[in-house]
């Protein structure tokens, strides 16, 4: 919002037409949003050709904010509004019905690895194509080396994709950086979500139960989720556990990945894998301290979770479904079911990882033949064939997905901006 104000001032918009409201201020809590906007319009004398720009911090503190936005839109008030809130679940819960046909929701994930590299000024050029499969193919054909990113990836992996942490004061050692990240994320991400965001949006009377559930889920990250088992451990009903998980999902803390099948009934019935939107939040939830640094198994889970979070961010922008696949002893970590260019991935920390699972997958689902990859540290890029998977180094995979997500996001925002020019509200 600060950047938008700066841009408007540079365009010589009259400062009198720019207003900033902080709705969590004690003097603003009981003021109807409509009354405040009406008073502002009385001062600015806005017109449809010279609207007033209103920037609202903590929008969801206003009572019936969603209905007021609906009113501003339907009655064509001469204003442009940008709103933010730390209560992301409240925005999604209340805004769904009122916003239909009036605004577009744009999902901005925590920083992906490519955005972190941009932030640090580290070049990673990759030829981005219309689909992820094509982008990976072009990257392999370019024969560019993707070595030299391991240290940056480790810092990103342990700190999390949050720019205020990534550009903060550099500590003297990795352990101090990790502890600082966990301390900040526990306060700013976990406690605010559980004790403010979720109770505000869903009227939870005892948020400690949601917190206990989060600890259990953090211990099962990247594993198959069993609501019945979790319910027994927490002495809760299974439907309650599923409802609480949906709250954590809508608060952008966790997300499930269903099992791939050609039958939607099977997709819904089979076990889902659970991931965190950012693996660093999981570390903060469990107060893991410096344990992940020296635990190869835990680092392996964080590497897999990083792949899931990157693909999930891309899937959101491209409106594509992300799956895993498991049948008997065979499994594939990620199935990106793009309608025109599907691709599947298996992430492994070992160079001797068996290809039996991914071979069984492409044998069972012919449309994925020639589009399956095994990903691992130090792997030499190799294109797949109809009978064998290809190979990708970890960093090439993360960078390709990150570039593709940016390509898709820019396309969506461009379309949304065009709709906005036609009178539709845009909410981010």
Q: Model confidence over 178-191: pLDDT tens digits?
A: 888 999 999 988 99
Average pLDDT over residues 225-242: 92
Mean pLDDT throughout 5-27?
92
What's the pLDDT tens digit per position in 341-362?
999 999 987 677 788 999 999 9
Given this model, what pLDDT does residue 302 score? Answer: 94
Residue 368 confidence (pLDDT): 96
Q: What is the pTM of this model?
A: 0.87
CA distance 336 to 401: 11
What is the distance between the alpha carbons of residues 270 and 165, in angstroms, rounded to a whole number? 38
Confidence grade of residue 201 (pLDDT, cut at 50, 70, 90): confident
In the numeric block, the tokens 């660093």 are attached to 280
Which of residues 351 and 114 earns the better pLDDT score? 114
Q: Are residues 127 and 185 in the same domain?
A: yes
Residues 17 and 119 in one domain: no
Residue 424, pLDDT above cutoff 60: no
Which pair of tokens denotes residue 417? Answer: 């901006």
134 and 212 in a single domain? The answer is yes
Q: What does the pLDDT look like over 138-196, one tens digit per residue? A: 999 988 888 889 999 999 999 999 988 988 666 668 888 888 899 999 998 899 889 88
- Say whether pLDDT at 99 is over 70: no
Provide the pLDDT confidence category of residue 236 given band limits of 50, 70 and 90: very high
One domain, residues 81 and 121: no
pLDDT of residue 167: 82
* Cα–Cα distance measured from residue 240 to residue 47, given in angstroms and rounded to the nearest whole number: 50
The percentage of the chain sitting over the pLDDT mark of 90, rounded to a whole number, equals: 59
381 neighbors 391 (Cβ within 8 angstroms): yes
Q: Is residue 223 located within the same domain as residue 121?
A: yes
Report yes or no on 94 lying in a domain. no
Structural domain contains residue 225: yes
- Residues shown for the chain: 428
Number of domains in the chain: 2
One domain, residues 133 and 75: no
Phi/psi at 322 (nearest 5 deg)? -110, 135
pLDDT at 83: 85
Residue 146 lies in a domain: yes
Long-range contact pairs involving 264-267 (C-beta distance under 8 Å, separation at least 24): 267/323
What is the three-class DSSP state of 135?
helix
DSSP label at 331?
E
Q: Are residues 249 and 393 in the same domain?
A: yes
**What's the pLDDT band for 87 if we cut at 50, 70, 90?**
low
Cα–Cα distance for residue pair 417/423, rounded to 1 Å = 10
Shared domain check, 351 and 249: yes
Burial of residue 398, with CB atoms counted within 10 A of its CB: 0-12 exposed, 13-18 middle, 19 or more buried: buried
Q: Is 91 within a domain? A: no
- pLDDT > 70 in the chain, percent: 91
C-alpha span between 222 and 218 (Å, rounded): 9
Residues 178 and 64 in one domain: no
Cα diameter, the chain: 71
* Residue 58 included in any domain: yes
What is the arithmetic mean of pLDDT over 107-120?
90
96 is a domain residue: no
Q: pLDDT-based confidence at 33, cuts 50/70/90?
A: very high
Same domain, yes or no: 74 and 139: no
Asked if residue 124 and residue 71 are part of one domain, the reply reads no
Is there a single domain that holds both residue 190 and residue 296?
yes
**Range of the structural domain that residue 302 is part of:** 113-409
For all residues of the chain together, what is the average pLDDT?
Answer: 88
In tens, the pLDDT along 367-407 reads: 999 999 999 988 899 999 999 999 999 999 999 999 999 99
- 244-268 tens-digit pLDDT: 999 999 888 999 999 999 888 888 7
Give the number of other Cβ atoms within 10 Å of residue 18's Cβ.
Answer: 16
In a domain, 279, yes or no: yes
State pLDDT tens for residues 325-346: 999 889 999 999 999 999 999 9
């Amino acid at each position: 919002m600060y950047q938008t104000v700066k841009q408007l001032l540079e365009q010589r918009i009259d400062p009198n037409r720019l207003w900033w409201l902080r709705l969590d201020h004690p003097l603003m809590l009981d003021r109807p949003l409509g009354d405040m906007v009406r008073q502002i319009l009385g001062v600015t004398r806005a017109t449809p050709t010279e609207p007033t720009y209103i920037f609202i911090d903590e929008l969801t503190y206003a009572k019936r904010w969603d209905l007021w936005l609906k009113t501003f839109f339907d009655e064509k008030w001469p204003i442009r509004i940008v709103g933010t809130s730390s209560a992301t679940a409240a925005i999604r819960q209340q805004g769904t019905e009122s916003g239909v046909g009036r605004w577009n929701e744009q999902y901005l994930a925590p920083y992906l690895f490519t955005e972190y590299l941009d932030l640090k000024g580290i070049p990673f050029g990759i030829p981005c194509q219309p689909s992820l499969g094509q982008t990976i193919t072009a990257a392999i054909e370019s024969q560019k080396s993707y070595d030299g990113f391991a240290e940056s990836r480790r810092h990103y992996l342990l700190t999390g994709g949050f720019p205020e942490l990534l550009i903060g004061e550099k500590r003297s050692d990795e352990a101090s950086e990790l502890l600082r990240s966990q301390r900040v994320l526990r306060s700013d991400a976990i406690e605010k979500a559980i004790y403010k965001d979720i109770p505000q949006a869903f009227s939870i009377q005892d948020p400690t139960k949601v917190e206990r559930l989060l600890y259990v889920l953090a211990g099962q990250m990247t594993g198959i989720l069993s609501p019945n088992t979790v319910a027994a451990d927490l002495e809760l009903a299974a439907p309650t556990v599923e409802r609480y998980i949906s709250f954590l999902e809508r608060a952008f803390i966790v997300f499930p990945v269903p099992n791939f099948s050609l039958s939607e009934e099977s997709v819904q019935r089979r076990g889902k894998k659970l991931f965190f939107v950012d693996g660093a939040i999981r570390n903060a939830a469990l107060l893991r301290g410096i344990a992940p640094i020296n635990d190869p198994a835990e680092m392996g889970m964080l590497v897999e979770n990083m792949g899931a979070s990157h693909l999930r961010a891309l899937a959101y922008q491209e409106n594509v479904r992300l799956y895993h696949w498991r049948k008997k002893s065979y499994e594939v970590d990620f199935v990106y079911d793009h309608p025109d260019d599907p691709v599947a991935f298996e992430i492994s920390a070992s160079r001797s990882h068996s290809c039996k699972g991914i071979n069984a997958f492409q044998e069972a689902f012919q449309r994925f033949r020639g589009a399956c990859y095994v990903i691992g540290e130090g792997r030499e890029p190799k294109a797949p064939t109809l009978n064998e998977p290809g190979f990708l180094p970890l960093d090439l995979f993360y960078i390709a997905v990150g570039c593709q997500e940016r390509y898709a996001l820019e396309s969506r925002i461009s379309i949304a901006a065009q709709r906005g020019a036609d009178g539709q509200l845009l909410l981010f």
